[in-house]
Amino acid sequence: MHFDNLVARFYRDKHLKQAMLHAIEDIETTLNTKISNVLGRKYGPYGYLDFRIWCQRNSRNKFLHNKFMDKYAIQKEQLNFLAKIPVKVRKSASYDMHELTSESDRVNPPIWLLMNELTLGESIHMYKLISKNNRDQISTYFGCKTDELVSWLDNINLIRNICCHNGLLADFKLKTKAKVPVEFKTHNIDEGILLRTQEGNYTNALAFQLCIIVKLMSKINNKYIFKDIESAVYKLFDATTTPQHYGFRNKLMIRKLFDLTTEDRVDSLIEY
| Per-residue pLDDT tens over the stretch 147-157 | 999 999 999 99
Taking residues 163-168, what's their average pLDDT? 88
Quote the pLDDT of residue 263.
45
How much is the mean pLDDT over the chain? 90
Instruction: Please determine, for residue 264, whether its predicted confidence score (pLDDT) is greater than 70.
Output: no
Q: Hey, how many other C-beta atoms are within 10 angstroms of the C-beta on 157? A: 20
C-alpha dihedral (125, 131, 134, 139), degrees to nearest 10: 50
How large is the average pLDDT for residues 153-165? Answer: 94
What interhelical angle do 120-129 and 3-43 show, nearest 10?
40
The pLDDT, as a whole number, for residue 266 is 43
pLDDT for 111: 96
pLDDT of 70 > 90? The answer is yes
pLDDT at position 1 is 55
CB 131: neighbour CB atoms within 10 A? 16
Q: What percent of the chain has pLDDT over 70?
A: 95
Rounded to two decimals, what is the model's pTM?
0.90
Long-range (24+ apart) CB contacts under 8 A made by 124-127 are: 124/31, 124/150, 124/153, 124/154, 124/157, 126/35, 126/81, 127/31, 127/35, 127/153
Specify whether the backbone of 247 is left (phi greater than 0), alpha (psi in -120 to 50) or beta: left
- The pLDDT, as a whole number, for residue 271 is 37
CA dist 3 and 80 (Å) reads 47
- The single-letter DSSP state of residue 110 is P
Over 90: is that where the pLDDT of 102 sits? no
Q: Is residue 270 predicted with pLDDT exceeding 70?
A: no
Per-residue pLDDT tens for 119-136?
A: 999 999 999 999 999 999
Give me the residue spans of the domains in the chain.
31-141, 173-268
pLDDT digits (tens, 9 = 90+) for 21-42: 999 999 999 999 999 999 999 9
Between these two residues, 265 and 46, which has the higher pLDDT value?
46
